[in-house]
Amino acid sequence: MTPEAPASLIEQLKAHFGEAIESAREALGQYTIEVSPDRLLEVAKSLRDERTFRFQQLIDLCGVDYLGYGQDEWETDAVTDEGFSRGVTGLGPGRFAWDNRPRPAGIPNRYAVVVHLLSIEHNLRLRLRCFAADDALPVVPSLVEIWGAANWFEREAFDLFGIVFEGHPDLRRILTDYGFVGHPFRKDFPLTGNVEVRYDPDKGRVVYEPVSIEPRVGVPRVVREDSRWLQAQNEAAGKAN
Amino acid sequence: MAEIRNYTMNFGPQHPAAHGVLRLVLELDGETIVRADPHVGLLHRGTEKLAESKPYNQSIGYMDRLDYVSMMCNEHAYVRAIERLLGIEAPVRAQYIRTLFDETTRILNHLMWLGSNALDLGAMTLFLYAFREREELMDCYEAVSGARLHATYYRPGGVYRDLPERMPQYHESPWTKGADLKRRNEWRQGSMLDFFDAFCEDFPKRVDEYETLLTDNRIWKQRTVNIGVVPPEMALRMGMSGPMLRGSGIAWDLRKKQPYAAYDKVDFDIPVGVNGDCYDRYLVRVEEMRQSCRIMKQCVDWLRSNAGDVMVRNFKVAPPSRVEMKDDMEALIHHFKLFTEGYATPAGEVYCAVEAPKGEFGAYIISDGANKPFRVKLRAPGFSHLSAMDEIVRGHMLPDVVAVIGTLDIVFGEIDR
């Protein structure tokens, strides 16, 4: 995607920001840095203004809920004395209804905000990740002052994930219905949702009712260690060294 | 003296010029816009969440339904992101086919835009003209994929199948008969590539026709010149891309700057505007159609002389042929596993973007090593464009809102996702 990006962008970032950024790495030809919420604004401002970076465009901003990252629903490696696992259990959003949704608490680094930046001047892209400190009330500083495009993207992340952007001028829901309850893209929000609407001819208006569809998962989530990908990755790593 | 208060008005969500389900709350001082507050989300389907609950390949069809007038470009971004995660690359012939169909899609999108925008601003004829040409191109969609709109033609590792040897012809029916039938089938005597050749030969003349209707039209210019001016500084700040950015004079096109598919092997130019108003963006889009036609011609020539695979021969990602499947146990197992469980991608994250007709359409996928993506985020160009709406229309008159909505080229399938 960024074909002739200088290999030194990571070094430049590290040299310029020092401990202000938590980590900087390159994977699949794309650059990612992680910043803590209290340093985010300062880092973002220099990324936009410094001559070496000039990330003038915020291309995308989205929330991520890392609950259940790397968990599968089907044991495929070993057989127990009861036979193979059936792949019918798990905690994916398609498996539960609103009433019996899991209530996880105290997971560190559950919510993150991921920002994609583009520098038209240097033809570079950069991914910026910022983990919200508190899992119960994730708060991240707003980037609206730095990139105007962040306005709606932050409203979207607030709407779908419940991430609060401190300093946002107008943090309203954007995609969900008026009067919607919950944050639908969280991993503990059921895929079926919680209410459904229909027109009631007796009442002469649209009514909201608890959802009637049963939660169902067609294909279980499977994590497979495919040796070919490992091999490809090792080869790529070997080439880089 | 009576107190004069601003008037708040609802524009949409059921308004033909709102291009879908846009509810625009306008605050008016007389006929001047003081504030515009777009309410979106009336078409929110949770595509990204649905994609998280399905194996990778089963979500390709959802991509068509995002920006439903530039279907294959959306697929392209998603498919490319998966390919990048897997570390595979589509064969060259598939890359050329993708380039060909991306440009077909661009023309389809711009025709739709041109026709509906002209209709909004009072020019009826163009709508009918634009749909005439769209018809021909949608026939190409149908010939390769079986569907006129929601193609699901691009797959990780290539495209679903090679271009057909014969272009399907119209049969006689109460609606198509006699001279009309003959005219329609005239281009369809040979292969699909012959059809594309005939189309590309003819299309620039059609664009000339559109231009005679609009480019020097006094009413068209009154409605678009100096309306909805986007200064380059604002275009950058608001994350604009595609014709919105180029209309403001910034020569940025992913097809040139970060080439993908076969764009580095074809020759084309990037039109750029000067004033950043609706008229400039109109000119940019019209020129883009001509350039697309140029790219298509080059792809057709290449495809004619170079045969080859259109899908990787990696049965973990792409299905084996029916013949192999019936003949070979391994192939049968691969087929079964691929269509039930799918394939697991290595853990990691990737963002891949394409220059969709409306701007930069990107797919951001986080994988945790499973057969379903952990998180999919689709970056729709229209979302950032519409977020700048308030800033653009302030101080304009009420009828200009229609011109600005038109020039943003918004489609709610992608904005609401």
Distance CA B108, CA B115 (A): 11
Structure tokens at B44: 């929110």
pLDDT digits (tens, 9 = 90+) for B210-247: 999 889 889 999 989 999 899 999 999 999 999 999 99
Say whether A21 sits in a helix, a strand or coil: strand
In this prediction, residue B196 carries a pLDDT of 92
In this prediction, residue A241 carries a pLDDT of 46
Residue located via tokens 């560190």: A108
Say whether B234 sits in a helix, a strand or coil: helix
Question: What is the Cα gyration radius of chain B?
Answer: 23
Backbone angles phi and psi of B219, in degrees to 5? -65, -45
For chains A and B, CB pairs below 8 A equal 147
In this prediction, residue B14 carries a pLDDT of 79
Whether B413 contacts chain A with CB within 8 A: no
Q: Which of B44, B50, B37 is nearest to B21 (CA)?
A: B44
Question: Facing residues of B29 across strands?
Answer: B32
In this prediction, residue A10 carries a pLDDT of 81
Distance CA B381, CA A51 (A): 27
Tell me if A232 and B87 make a contact (CB, 8 A cut-off): yes
Contact assessment for residue B357 and residue B242, using Cβ atoms and an 8 Å cutoff: yes
Average pLDDT value for residue range B319-329 = 89
pLDDT digits (tens, 9 = 90+) for B79-98: 999 999 988 889 999 999 99
B180 burial via Cβ count (<10 Å: 0-12, 13-18, 19+): exposed
Q: Which of B11, B12, B7 is nearest to B28 (CA)?
A: B7
Residues 6+ apart with CB under 8 A from A100: none
Distance CA B315, CA B305 (A): 27
Stretch 44-103 of chain B: residues touching chain A, C-beta under 8 Å: 44, 46, 48-50, 52-55, 84-87
**B32 DSSP 8-state letter:** E
Tell me if A28 and B369 make a contact (CB, 8 A cut-off): no
In this prediction, residue A161 carries a pLDDT of 92
What end-to-end distance do the CA atoms of chain A give, in Å?
21
Rounded to 10°, the helix B92-120/B71-86 angle is 150
Q: Which residues of B touch A171 (CB under 8 A)?
A: none
In this prediction, residue A52 carries a pLDDT of 83
Q: Which of B345, B350, B377 is nearest to B361 (CA)?
A: B377
Q: Which residues of A touch B50 (CB under 8 A)?
A: 191
Number of Cβ atoms within 10 Å of the Cβ of A54: 17
In this prediction, residue A7 carries a pLDDT of 55
Distance CA A164, CA A158 (A): 6
pLDDT digits (tens, 9 = 90+) for B168-211: 888 888 888 888 888 888 888 888 999 999 999 999 999 999 99
Considering only CB atoms, A152 lies closest to which of B362, B369, B387, namely B387
Tell me if B368 and A223 make a contact (CB, 8 A cut-off): yes
Structure tokens at B259: 């080439």
Tell me if A221 and B371 make a contact (CB, 8 A cut-off): yes
Give the lowest-confidence range in A110-124, B17-31, B142-156: B17-31
Q: Which residues of B touch A125 (CB under 8 A)?
A: 351
Say whether B297 sits in a helix, a strand or coil: helix
Taking the CA of residue B368 and the nearest CA in chain A, the distance in Å comes to 5
Tell me if B342 and A219 make a contact (CB, 8 A cut-off): yes
Taking the CA of residue B312 and the nearest CA in chain A, the distance in Å comes to 15
Whether B22 contacts chain A with CB within 8 A: no
Structure tokens at A217: 């998962």
Give the lowest-confidence range in A98-102, A137-141, B284-288, B315-319: A98-102
Residue ranges, chain A, pLDDT below 50: 1, 241
Tell me if B340 and A175 make a contact (CB, 8 A cut-off): no
Which amino acid, B63?
M
pLDDT digits (tens, 9 = 90+) for B97-137: 999 999 999 999 999 999 999 988 888 888 899 998 898 89
Say whether A206 sits in a helix, a strand or coil: strand
Taking the CA of residue B199 and the nearest CA in chain A, the distance in Å comes to 32
Q: Which of B334, B335, B343, B354 is nearest to B414 (CA)?
A: B354
Number of H helices, E strands in chain B: 18, 8
Q: Which of A139, A3, A120 is nearest to A53 (CA)?
A: A120
In this prediction, residue B5 carries a pLDDT of 80
Residues 6+ apart with CB under 8 A from A59: A116, A117, A118, A125, A149, B239, B241, B353, B360, B362, B379
- Its ipTM equals 0.87
Burial A196-232 (b: 16+ CB within 10 A, else e): eeeeeeeeeeeeeeebeeebebebbbbbbebeebeee
pLDDT digits (tens, 9 = 90+) for B356-380: 999 999 999 999 888 899 999 999 9
Name the residue with higher pLDDT: B164 or A230: B164
pTM for the predicted model, two decimal places: 0.89
Taking the CA of residue A234 and the nearest CA in chain B, the distance in Å comes to 12
